Structure 1
Amino acid sequence: MSFAVSLRSPGQWGRFRVSTLARHARRHPLVLIGGGLLVILIALTLAAPLYAGDPLKMDPFVRLHPPSADYWLGTDNLGRDVFARTIYGARISLTVGLISALVAAFAGLLIGVIAGYIRSFDNIIMRVMDALMSIPTFLLAIALISLTGTGIGILIIAIAIPQIPSVTRLVRSVVLSVRERAYVEAAACGGARLPKILWRHILPSTLPPLMVQTAVVCADAIMTEAGLSFLGVGVPPEISSWGNMISSSRLYLAIAPFTIFAPGIFLAITVLAVNLFGDGLRDLFDPRAKRRR
């Protein structure tokens, strides 16, 4: 008996990995573009203390100072560095968007699986979800924040709750189609317990569409956070946030437009990157979606 062993040198493994990544990049460029932009934004926010300066430092002598070598994007009405506040504001938007999306995805996955597989709970759960969907996201978030007060934790919960029904309906629709398949019925007839059926046969089918929906929810959460902060019911004013910056700069738009352009552009780029990443995931998990374009 003989065994054939194929070995690769470190250089060959490197070329193999690069070629594999290049092939995936050609097939799914949206994932590469969106993911690359997000990686750059995350790297900029993590390295902010090394180059961005203090976003809270105020200097009344340089109020509404135009962009210069000392202040790359100028200063706001309180003499704070717009560049530093914009970079640190990315931390708030990315943190709130990502955690809100994960909370909504986890809760929606749990509720959707129960509603889709256990028929006795389906009608009750979906009526509750329909009631939540009938309330506008902003009004529900404002009501929750008004009752509990402002704060990043409260803001995340207030944004995540209105997003749960959309995730629940998606997961439920997937579970309804999967639970009728032969391998699920065979597992049930073979004596498999409900937790094992859900874990091994139901949940894997829900993950690809759930990942795509999570990206959509993340982009929506970032926009919602900016809108709530713009209205004054988001993060506290002393915390650097793109919504707070746009809100405070709108009064000086005629004389200092640079104070509003930076957070607005960064907000647009972030939402675009998340949407591109979500579209790329959709094409990755469902090749038919790409062929229909």
Structure 2
Amino acid sequence: MKLLRFGAPGAEKPGVLDAEGWVRDLSAHVTDIAGDTLLPERMAELRALDISTLPVVAGTPQEDLRLGPCVGRTGKFICIGLNYADHAEEAGMDIPPEPVIFGKWTSAICGPDDAVEIPRGSEKTDWEVELGIVIGKGGKYIDEADALSHVAGFCVVNDISERDYQLNRAGTWDKGKGNDTFGPIGPWLVTPDEVEDYNGLHMWLDVDGKRYQDGSTATMVYKVPHLISYCSQFMSLQPGDIISTGTPPGVGMGQTPPVYLKGGETMRLGIEGLGSQTQAVRRA
């Protein structure tokens, strides 16, 4: 299934994408793509529905029908740093001996095609296409062998970053990661049965039509099951939590000379089988 949330910001309704690319309304069956809806038993009930009998929502998704974040009421937005071998090389940094964890504030979350705002005073706002894991069944001290049973689905994340705030403002990375609009997610939450090989997904990002990132989850250092198990050693994972798993090379900071967003650009990004995002960039 490709689950989604459609409608105006703050008033999104639950939906599902049908085989023809139209949105079908799930409101008669669930209140939101969030919380207990993401538990395995509830997801199984949704899979059992005859999607063709659900009401069609007017409009073309991501054109004249706005899609919101594909998951609602996210409690934790967990990110993994330097998790691609080729990106670590690009950044001139060693591969960490265990996963680097930092957080994005949940107020950063926005729809896949909502505008991205450059913070006031920013000169180094950057981009990062990433594979997002959405937790379904919660837990802590999760065994790596059982980790995939805790996954509700996968999605595209743009881990937008202000590099000066991240690296030079006397604190942890979080200062440069959690500004408003710095966390577009979606367009849809794709259930694991529709993702053939999460270890080999092509991922890409363009700015104004120029391809900057062109990589694959194949170069991920710490894989999905390990990341879920590892994070659960430090916090309980709950339905709707997002783990954003790192980015391949091609970020603005890694260009020679570096290239950063100034306002007025358009970003397009996507991951094989998980859909794409388009964001206009503007200054706050």
Identify the TM-score tier after normalising by the shorter chain: under 0.3
- TM-score, structure 2 length as denominator? 0.26
Specify the structure having the higher radius of gyration (Cα): 1
TM-score, length basis structure 1: 0.25
